[in-house]
Amino acid sequence: MKKNRGIITVVFAALILIGIYYFELPGSKANDSSSSGTAIKLLDVSAEEITEVEIDNRNEKLVFSKDMDKWKLTYPSGIKYDQVITDGLHLSLGYIEANKEVARNKTDLSPYGLDKPVSISVKSRDGKVKILEIGSITSSKEDYYARIRGSDRIYTVPAEKAEAILLTKNRVKDKNVLALAEYKKVAVRGDDIKSIILERHGEKVFKAGRDSDGNWNETFPQENEIDASKLDSVLNAITRATALEFVDEDTDLSKYGLDKPSYGIEFEYAVDNKVLRKKLYIGDENKPDCEFFARVEGSKDVFILDETGFDFLDKNWNGV
């Protein structure tokens, strides 16, 4: 009888150890589940109380500050940023919740990616600062590991919510790449464009401009008044040009075919009674996708541009 009781005790202890292993091991199915339980609010601060957010993303730092009712990217300076993303950050932080606690009192945080986390400092009106740390993504790709600095508890946060606050410099940049930097909300409109120059491999292939009556006139390679509808594809491409993704600020433009661009689109347009000039350079194709590498003159940013709508680049413009 004592022998049987001893066997039962050993089996029971083994089951407990298996349960602990199953539920606490990073990457286990139990940990990757985002189901069950009540959501856990991580930051004890409302979105309205947040006045500053600093994201230390390992290799770069971003600082967002509230100015009256508007949010600004205050560091690094000089970046034309997406106002919608900037305005939404404090809301995402104010409502971020974990779906479960997965471990506590762990001395080794590396299995959770929390030994080298992305740190997000949140400052409230009363001057208090809380730091949310985001670690690695779970094996199911459904959640990220997270904790509040100073706490011994580790949670999982739904990937969608975590990625909304895991901002980088490239993610926060305004993808409306041809908007005028000094007027962050001004996009280029076709009616505002006054002249166009198209280049192929560094050589001018076409030039046209509007006269005082608004009519388009070709000035190169011939001199003719032209039907404005023949320029619709060019004007549409300019007004709709949007970066799919920023990829680099590298000075070695040869990696993208932008040291000797395949194409150039230069145009002048009017904003607030000023005539301004922009030039878009297009380099190599980003294979196998139907995309180009591109940049705007005067900017270090290399971005990916959808090829759709740029069929005119190889058009024969003689006798338009």
Q: What is the mean pLDDT of residues 291-315?
A: 92
Query: Kindly report the CA angle at 317 between 223 and 303, in degrees rounded to 5?
Result: 120
Domains of the chain, start order: 37-172 (2.60.40), 190-314 (2.60.40)
Q: How far from each other are the two terminal CA atoms of the chain, in whole angstroms?
A: 102
Q: Which residues is 23 bridged to in the sheet?
A: none
Best CA proximity match to 225, nearest among 238, 236, 214? 214
More confident residue, 20 or 49: 49
Tell me the pLDDT tens digit for each residue of 37-69: 688 999 989 999 999 999 998 889 999 999 988
Best CA proximity match to 303, nearest among 253, 233, 239? 253
At residue 33, does pLDDT exceed 50? no
Query: What is the spatial distance between Cα 124 and Cα 66, in angstroms, rounded to a whole number?
Result: 11
Tell me the pLDDT tens digit for each residue of 171-183: 999 998 887 544 4
Query: What is the spatial distance between Cα 270 and Cα 52, in angstroms, rounded to a whole number?
Result: 36
pLDDT band at 289 (very low <50, low <70, confident <90, very high): confident
